[in-house]
């Protein structure tokens, strides 16, 4: 009798404690789903929308009738914001400038330490970002620079030659079929974008015959991007799972990618360290090495230098090509938009030269189309996660220190309270009644904002314009036998949204 009573008491106590654990949350914390041991609320996100977790979070937001929800991803408390006011607050309030120490961020480094820029915060992040940006601008990063534009034109010329005449070297067959005009996206765009970026950093570009390793870098970069997710994947919740399920957890794929990417940039750094001469400034690399010699320490050393370069270069060899490929999907689905771009290019540029950045101000529809592409297919739907550095408030709720804070750029870019018809691909939304670009109509935030604003925004926008205008100037997108129009529901969700690798048939315009 006593034993049975004790058992009942234990069971009741266990159920009470389990219930309290499931529903307990800090005082004033936003409403949200319960949590379970180890996984927190992560499994609920997976059950709602396994493929697109940012859409699952938005579904929860609507369920709780709140623009901000609170949940747990494993042991981490998380607040997710789904409206314009909250997103702007997170991006512009220095109280949210922190970064969570997720395992997916640490595993990029051979020593499992968080280095670089993306996932750093505090004095080291501020020092490194300020230094790298300051001196990269001297070499053309983030501003109009005639020499850099000439380099980009050379890269676009090489890309056009590859498309028309087919591969000259075995490594180019991954991008273009023999005979030309059939190209794989997003791979085609990335090496040429990367080469343009590397000219800024290293003052050199790889010729086509030596681009094999650069193409491999682009492939490995995409492999990392596609095998994580915007909530840290299971690896950040249960890092030990990599030992039991290395393939299923994505660890093997991301580890392979990280090893290659790290070695690629380590080789660059070591080559410059070996050939460095005091007082000789060949490129940005020498500027950084000089600072390493003058101010040795945790902030300026080989390991941090490598990861800093990885972070500043990553979008150039992955994200730009992906964003262009997403735009190509829409141009195939909306041929009338493509025709308007081509008409504008013909009127402003003609066919005797390539488009330039000077043409941009005279091509409002092309620019509006690119901006609409950035809005409707938000490349980083949940931004890179932020972290509260102090106890603070957000949209009337209390946010404890060290809470992960997620500004849902996807939700903001698809909010009917901000955009009249967000589900429609409509470049005209950024044009005034006279057909001119009106930047006041573009409140989208594809590159973030505030101190965490993507440092490569200007470079990315310039590359997107030049590549879009050039490819539309010379080619139509057509369906070869067996091809179908793009299915946007098949696009992949990782750290960024990306289309699965697909082949596109191009046709010369006459």
- Digit-coded pLDDT (tens) for 157-184: 999 999 999 999 999 999 999 999 999 9
Are the CB atoms for 75 and 21 separated by under 8 Å? Answer: no
Q: Which two tokens stand for residue 32?
A: 């949200």
pLDDT at 9: 64
Reported as a pLDDT band with limits 50, 70 and 90, residue 22 is low
For residue 309, the surrounding DSSP H or E stretch is: helix 302-317
Supply the pLDDT for residue 261: 96
Per-residue pLDDT at 200: 83
Report pLDDT for 429. 96
Strand 404-407 and strand 392-394: the pairing is unpaired
Residues 6+ apart with CB under 8 A from 31: 64, 66, 69, 70
| Residue 39: other Cβ atoms inside 10 A | 18
Q: Does any domain span residue 165?
A: yes
282 falls within a domain: yes
User: Do residues 456 and 278 touch, judged by C-beta distance below 8 A?
Assistant: no
41 pLDDT band, cuts 50/70/90, is confident
Report pLDDT for 90: 95
- Judge whether 9 lies within some domain: no
What is the sign, positive or negative, of the torsion defined by CA atoms of 130, 133, 138, 143?
A: negative
Mean pLDDT of 125-145: 80
Per-residue pLDDT at 118: 84
HEC letters along 420-435: CCCCCCCHHHHECCCC
**Residue 110: CB atoms within 10 Å:** 14
Is pLDDT of 23 > 70? no
- Residue 295 is predicted with a pLDDT of 79
Q: Residue 243 has which token pair?
A: 């030992």
- The strand pair at 392-394 and 397-399 is best described as antiparallel
**pLDDT (average), residues 10-34:** 70
Residues annotated within a binding site for heme = 454
Strands 76-81 and 404-407: parallel
Percent of the chain's residues with pLDDT above 90: 61
pLDDT of 300-310, one tens digit each?
889 999 999 99
Radius of gyration (C-alpha) of the chain in whole angstroms = 24
Is 86 inside any structural domain? no
pLDDT score recorded for residue 233 = 65
Mean of pLDDT values over 485-504: 93
Do residues 264 and 218 lie in contact, with contact meaning Cβ atoms separated by under 8 Å?
no
Q: How far is CA 235 from the centre of its chain?
A: 19
Local confidence band at 279 (pLDDT 50, 70, 90 cut-offs):
confident
Instruction: Please state, in angstroms and rounded to a whole number, the distance separating the CA atoms of residues 174 and 215.
Output: 9
The whole-number pLDDT of residue 96 equals 94
User: Residue 39's pLDDT is what?
Assistant: 85
Contacts with 173 (C-beta within 8 Å, 6 or more apart), sequence order: 167
Q: Which token pair is 21?
A: 């654990």
Mean pLDDT of 410-439: 94
CA distance linking residue 296 with residue 375, whole number of Å: 42
Tell me what the pLDDT averaged over the chain comes to. 90
Question: How many structural domains is the chain composed of?
Answer: 1
Please check the confidence at residue 229 and state whether its pLDDT lies above 80: no
Q: Is residue 369 included in any domain, yes or no?
A: yes
Residue 356 reports pLDDT greater than 90? yes
Residue 319 inside a domain? The answer is: yes
Tokens of 207: 């010729």
Report the range of poorest mean pLDDT among 99-103, 368-372, 427-431, 487-491. 99-103
Domain housing 235: 97-376+450-471
pLDDT tens digits, 386-412:
999 999 999 999 999 999 999 999 999
Confidence of residue 282 (pLDDT cuts 50, 70, 90): confident
Instruction: Write out the two tokens for 356.
Output: 């330039």
Report the pLDDT value the prediction gives residue 11, as an integer from 0 to 100: 60
Sign of CA dihedral 83, 86, 87, 88: positive
Q: What is the pLDDT of residue 13?
A: 60
Q: 419: which residues sit within 8 A by CB, 6+ positions away?
A: 375, 413, 429
What is the reported pLDDT for 17? 52
Contact, 119 vs 99, CB < 8 A?
A: yes
User: Residue 499: its pLDDT value, please?
Assistant: 95
Out of 58-67, 123-132, 158-167, 251-260, pick the least confident: 123-132
- Pairing label, strands 497-498, 492-493: antiparallel
Q: Which is more confidently placed, 427 or 8?
A: 427
Q: How many CB atoms lie within 10 A of CB 415?
A: 17
Q: What is the pLDDT of residue 44?
A: 87
Could you tell me what percent of the chain has a pLDDT over 70?
Answer: 94
Backbone phi and psi for residue 507, each to the nearest 5 degrees, phi listed first: -130, 130
When pLDDT is averaged across residues 410-421 and rounded to a whole number, the result is 94
Taking residues 351-376, report their average pLDDT.
Answer: 95
Give the Cβ contact number of residue 80 at 10 Å.
Answer: 29
Q: Does residue 433 fall inside a structural domain? A: no
- pTM score: 0.93
Nearest by Cα to 28 from 407, 386, 393, 387: 393
pLDDT band at 117 (very low <50, low <70, confident <90, very high): confident
Most trustworthy range by pLDDT among 21-25, 45-49, 199-203, 474-478: 474-478
User: What are the residues whose beta carbons fall under 8 Å from the beta carbon of 321, sequence distance 6 or more?
Assistant: 185, 186, 187, 188, 189, 190, 193, 218
Nearest-angstrom CA–CA distance, 133 and 142: 8
Q: Is the pLDDT of residue 237 over 90?
A: no
User: What per-residue confidence (pLDDT) applies to 8?
Assistant: 61
**Mean pLDDT of the 327-334 span:** 97
Predicted pLDDT of residue 10: 60
434-471 burial, b for 16+ CB within 10 Å, e for fewer?
eeebeeeebebbbbbbbebebbbeebbbbbbbbbbbbb
pLDDT at position 168: 95
E-strand ranges in 50-99 read 68-73, 76-81
* Bridge partners, 71 (sequence order): 78
What pLDDT does 14 receive? 55
How far CA 280 is from CA of 199, 269, 286, 287, 289, in Å, comes to 18, 16, 8, 9, 11
For residue 25, give the 3-state DSSP assignment: coil
Question: Would you give the end-to-end CA distance of the chain in angstroms?
Answer: 93
- 384 band by pLDDT with thresholds 50, 70 and 90: confident
Distance in angstroms (rounded) separating the CA atoms of residues 306 and 315:
15
Residue 462 lies in a domain: yes
How confident is the model over 216-232, as a mean pLDDT?
Answer: 87
Least confident of 87-91, 197-201, 221-225: 197-201
List, in sequence order, every residue forming a beta bridge with 476; answer none if it has no partner. Answer: 507
Q: What is the CATH number of the domain that holds 193?
A: 1.10.630.10
Would strands 404-407 and 497-498 be described as parallel, antiparallel, or unpaired?
unpaired
Residue ranges for the known binding site are 454
């Amino acid at each position: 009798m006593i034993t049975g009573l004790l058992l009942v008491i234990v069971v009741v106590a266990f159920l009470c404690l389990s219930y309290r654990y499931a529903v307990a949350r800090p005082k004033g914390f936003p409403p949200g789903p319960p949590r379970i041991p180890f996984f927190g609320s992560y499994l609920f996100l997976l059950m709602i929308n396994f493929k697109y977790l940012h859409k699952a979070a938005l579904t929860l937001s609507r369920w709780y009738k709140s623009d901000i929800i609170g949940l747990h991803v494993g042991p981490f408390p998380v607040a997710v914001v789904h409206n314009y006011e909250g997103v702007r607050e997170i991006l512009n309030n220095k109280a949210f400038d922190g970064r969570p120490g997720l395992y997916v961020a640490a595993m990029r480094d051979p020593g499992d330490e968080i280095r670089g820029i993306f996932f750093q915060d505090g004095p080291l992040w501020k020092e490194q970002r300020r230094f790298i940006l300051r001196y990269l601008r001297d070499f053309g990063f983030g501003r109009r620079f005639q020499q850099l534009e000439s380099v980009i034109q050379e890269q676009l010329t090489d890309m056009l030659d590859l498309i028309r005449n087919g591969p000259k070297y075995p490594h180019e067959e991954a991008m273009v079929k023999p005979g030309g005009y059939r190209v794989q996206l997003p791979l085609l765009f990335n090496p040429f974008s990367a080469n343009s970026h590397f000219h800024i950093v290293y003052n050199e570009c790889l010729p086509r015959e030596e681009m094999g390793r650069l193409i491999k870098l682009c492939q490995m970069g995409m492999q990392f991007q596609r095998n994580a997710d915007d909530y840290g994947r299971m690896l950040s919740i249960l890092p030990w799972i990599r030992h039991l399920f290395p393939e299923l957890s994505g660890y093997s794929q991301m580890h392979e990618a990280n090893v290659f990417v790290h070695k690629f940039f380590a080789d660059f750094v070591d080559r410059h360290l070996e050939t460095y001469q005091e007082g000789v400034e060949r490129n940005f690399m020498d500027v950084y090495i000089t600072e390493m010699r003058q101010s040795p320490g945790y902030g300026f050393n080989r390991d941090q230098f490598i990861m800093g370069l990885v972070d500043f270069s990553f979008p150039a060899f992955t994200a730009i090509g992906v964003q262009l490929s997403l735009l190509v999907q829409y141009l195939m689905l909306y041929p009338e938009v493509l025709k308007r771009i081509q008409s504008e290019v013909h009127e402003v540029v003609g066919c005797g030269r390539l488009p330039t950045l000077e043409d941009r101000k005279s091509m409002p529809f092309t620019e509006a189309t690119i901006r609409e592409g950035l809005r409707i297919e938000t490349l980083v739907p949940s931004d890179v996660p932020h972290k509260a550095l102090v106890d603070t408030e957000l949209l009337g709720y209390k946010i404890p220190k060290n809470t992960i804070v997620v500004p849902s750029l996807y939700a903001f870019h698809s909010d009917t309270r901000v955009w009249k018809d967000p589900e429609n691909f409509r470049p005209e939304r950024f044009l005034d009644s006279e057909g001119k670009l009106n930047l006041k109509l573009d409140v989208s935030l594809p590159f973030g904002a505030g101190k965490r604003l993507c440092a490569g925004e200007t470079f990315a926008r310039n590359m997107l314009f030049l590549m879009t205008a050039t490819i539309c100037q010379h080619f139509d997108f057509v369906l070869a036998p067996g091809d179908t129009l793009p299915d946007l529901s098949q696009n992949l969700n990782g750290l960024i949204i990306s289309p699965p690798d697909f082949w596109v048939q191009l046709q010369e315009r006459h």
